[in-house]
Chain A
Amino acid sequence: MDRRRNLTGWAFLLPASLLIVLISFVPMIQALLLSLQTGRGTRLNWADPLWYNYTRLLGDEIFKQTLFNTFVYLIIQVPIMLTLALILANLLNNPRLRWRAFWRTAIFLPCAVSLVAYSLVFRTMFATDGFVNDFLGMFGVAPVNWLGEPDTARAVLIIGLLWRWTGFNMIFFLAGLQNIDRSTIEAARMDGANAFQVFWRVTVPQLRPIILLTAIMSTNGTLQLFDESWALTRGGPAYASMSMSHYLYEVSFQRNPNFGYGAALSYVILILVAVLAFIQLRIGDKRDQ
């Protein structure tokens, strides 16, 4: 009876597991094989040498530019966003705060909007003759060509990402804060710790698993950034704000599709995701001791 039940259990897992294998694991291996091939369209041959696509990446200036852009977004945007999300969650977790539901809804609301939708709103607001320049003009600031200069284009993309994802991460921190025993905070208060000390020494250490999780998720998301690069800055000017996934799409599906080269690029993203997650997990564990 137990054995039959065990088999029933496996049968319950079968459809979902099979789909994940077919949709994720098998294509992942196919992509590896593909990355060792060259040719255009459907006519593909084994590359000579096999790692040709990977060596080609090393000499590809556009690839290096998109790698640089992705790391700019990662290093600047993710820490700012997580810090802001942590502060906002901490403020909202105060039971004496008024209009909590309103603040929470307003800050969380951007998560309901699709990435390309908000990208187009930001593109409109940051147009040279658009709202942001009109607004700054009231303070005597000369119009800025936001999307036409490399640094400002990347900055606009970062502002967009902060707008869309800060509330998302705040929700994770709020969920984490609810699991913290409030008496630890009250006790620290009684001992004369100020708000900042309580936050830094009592709240943050207890939230560490959640901080680790949000850091890994955000890193993963940034490395796969596509929609904003595509619709908000269109990767421009030239390739100055283009993300790696955007370049991957361009290589694989536009002009002369080159699946082998695209697959090699996708493996760089895959390896970066794995390596960065591993490093973050190691750092997260070390602080445990």
Chain B
Amino acid sequence: MINKLRGVPAYLFLGIWTLFSLFPLYFMAVSATNTSQDVLASRLLPGGELFANIAKLLDAQNVGAAMTSSFLIAAGTTVLALIICSIAGYGFEVYHSKGKDVLMGVLLLAMMIPFAATMIPLFQVFAKLGLVNSLFAVIVPAISTPLLILLFRQSSRAFPTEILEAARVDGLSEFSIYARIYVPTMRATFAAAGVITFMTAWNNYLWPRVILIKNEVQTMPMLIVNLSAGYVTDYGVLMLAVLLASLPTVVVFLLLQRQFAEGITGAIK
């Protein structure tokens, strides 16, 4: 009996925090189906306004274009980041040398540079290149990150050197060893790195806000902020847009939660 009661505070604490965690998401989802007045009247049950809200949202904003931009940015960043950072992480570990350790240390320092401190010169450079309003300018700064390189370097430790030697004896070139043997065996690391990169790129707000000036070029996070900045906010429509902006990353999270956790913590092991 005492043993059973001892767990009660733990479950109570977890229960309260879980409620706190889930409630805003529930609020967002039900509000997407209610009118603005109902949202402000704190109606917490699903309503019948979903299709009306969808119609109003499509009327006010070009959701399709924003979804496409967000998707192209997130997918483009993920593909390029996986290629560039995995090659580097592999290089750091497999061709290990003192000089490369020094370089890794220097690259890790870049993690401590706040984005705020590089944002203005980056904007100037992309403006000079005529790349303002281009999705390419959104993607480039997000491709190579020290964290991702570190993640690949740390997991490359598990890559067996015997396979490497055997492949060399078989006459495979150094690059084909990476492409044909390393990549398939490191699928788990690629999944983890892919999930965090995709989610970070999808959710990023500040840099797209800076570099995408034209109103017609916007990402989903930009769309929802613009929607809320109007003179009169329709809260039902706003919550629907927020729901749409969150859905892709929430689905990715629910399907690949383990990989996501591995991606954010993997570099420290």
Contacts and interface: CB of A to CB of B under 8 A. Distances in A.
Interface of A: 5-6, 8-13, 15-17, 19-20, 23-28, 30-31, 34, 84, 87-88, 91-92, 94, 96-97, 102-103, 105-118, 120-125, 127, 129-131, 134-135, 163, 166-168, 171-172, 174-175, 210, 213, 220, 223-224, 226-227, 230-231, 244-245, 248-249, 252-253, 259, 262-263, 265-267, 269-270, 273-274, 277
Given A25-B113, A117-B203, 12 more contacts: A13-B91, A84-B17, A110-B21, A130-B40, A163-B21, A163-B24, A175-B268, A213-B268, A245-B206, A253-B210, A259-B120, A270-B116
A121 B239 contact: yes
Given A9-B94, A231-B225, A122 B40 contact: no
A131 B42 CA distance: 5
B121 interface: yes
A116 B122 contact: no
Contact of B10 (A17, A94, A168): A94
A198 to B, nearest CB: 13
A15 B122 contact: no
A103 B22 CA distance: 11
Given A117-B246, A210-B268, A112 B120 contact: no
A27 B118 contact: yes
A5 B228 contact: no
B264 interface: yes
Given A24-B113, A134-B42, A16 B149 contact: yes
A23 B238 CA distance: 35
A278 to B, nearest CB: 10
17 contacts: A12-B87, A12-B91, A25-B113, A27-B121, A107-B18, A110-B24, A112-B253, A113-B25, A114-B203, A115-B203, A115-B205, A124-B39, A227-B205, A230-B205, A249-B209, A259-B124, A265-B116
A103 B260 CA distance: 16
Interface in B214-265: 220-221, 224-225, 228, 235, 238-239, 242, 245-246, 249-250, 252-254, 257, 260-261, 264-265
Contacts of A108: 257, 261
A8 B221 contact: no
Contacts of B94: 9
B55 interface: no
A113 B250 contact: yes
B119 interface: yes
A27 B25 contact: no
Interface stretch (B46-54, B56-64, B95-103, B183-191): B95-103
A8 B257 contact: no
Contacts of A171: 261, 264-265
A48 B257 CA distance: 54
Contacts of A231: 205, 225, 228
Given A13-B100, A91-B10, A24 B110 contact: yes
